[in-house]
Structures are given as structure tokens and as C-alpha cells.
Amino acid sequence: MNIMKNNFYVYEIKEKTTDKVVYVGQTTQPSIRYLTHFAPSGKFDRNLHYMNILENEWIFNNKKDARKYEDILQEYYGFETELQKRRKRIVDLLSPKNKRGGKKRAQDAFKKQCIELECPHCHEKGIGRIMYRWHFHKCKYK
Ligand SMILES: [Zn+2]
């Protein structure tokens, strides 16, 4: 694969024996990210895992899209997504224990993160979980 500068790559870390995806990330420099993940202090062991850089519609020219599709894959594989982490923070804002929170602040935070998703296969757009059910890896035009 020809790695180009300023492109954003979405990648998976997979188990060698089962091909099970254990991690999803995005980066502009896959080879450097590889070294970080597979360093002795890193999370993964190069004898057990490998990095799979996704191609074609999973390569982006901006970070916003790369993060959006990183989220999509994380959700697909059942990992906690960046979006879910942000949602948790919104729920925390509603907690009576949070003195600086409250409904208004939570609503503002929620509005900010209702990102529209577009399926890379059929280009249908939508907001929310229903998109994951019928599109992306499961899209009939894939
Ligand atoms: Zn689709």
C-alpha cells in the first residue's frame, strides 16, 4: 500500500490466529503508530497481533472524517467509541451531583455532537444508530 503524506488512515489491530479485531484507530502515519502499538511498552505483541490498514473509502484527507469513521468501526466491533465517551460526559452534566452541569448545558453539548453519518458504499446519510444496522459493513451496495 502506498502511504501518502497528509492522508488519514483508519486501521484495525487483529489477532493473527483468529483475525478478530481487537482495536480500531486512525492516523496520518501508520508506520509510526505501528511502532508505538507494538513497542515493548505498547498494548500489542507482534507475535500475536497485526495491523490492517483499511484502503479505498477508509482513507481521508481530513481528520474530522477519519475520526467519524473510526467511531463507526469502533461501534461496529462493540468497542467504546469516542462518541460514546463524549455522550457519557453529557450524561454526567445532567447528574444532580454536577454543580456546573444542568439540562441546558447538556442539551448544548448534545447538539454539538449529533454528527450526520454518510455510508461510504451507497452514500446514504443519516443520524444515529439505525445507520449502523443497514450501512457501512452491512450495506447491500458494498
Ligand atoms: Zn449503505
Task: Read off the pLDDT of residues 54-76 as tens digits, 9 standing for 90 and up.
Answer: 999 899 999 989 998 998 899 89
Which DSSP helix (H) or strand (E) runs through 117? Answer: strand 117-118
CATH number of 8-91: 3.40.1440
Task: Report the separation in Å between the CA atom of 129 and the middle of ligand 1, taken as the mean of its atom positions.
Answer: 13
C-alpha of residue 138 to centroid of ligand 1, in Å: 7
**16 alpha carbon – ligand 1 mean position (Å):** 29
pTM score, whole prediction: 0.63
Ordered by start, the domain boundaries in the chain are 8-91, 102-138
Alpha-carbon distances, residue 59 vs 7, 27, 66, 107, 138 (angstroms) = 7, 10, 7, 32, 19
**Interval 3-24: pLDDT, tens:** 787 899 999 999 999 999 999 9
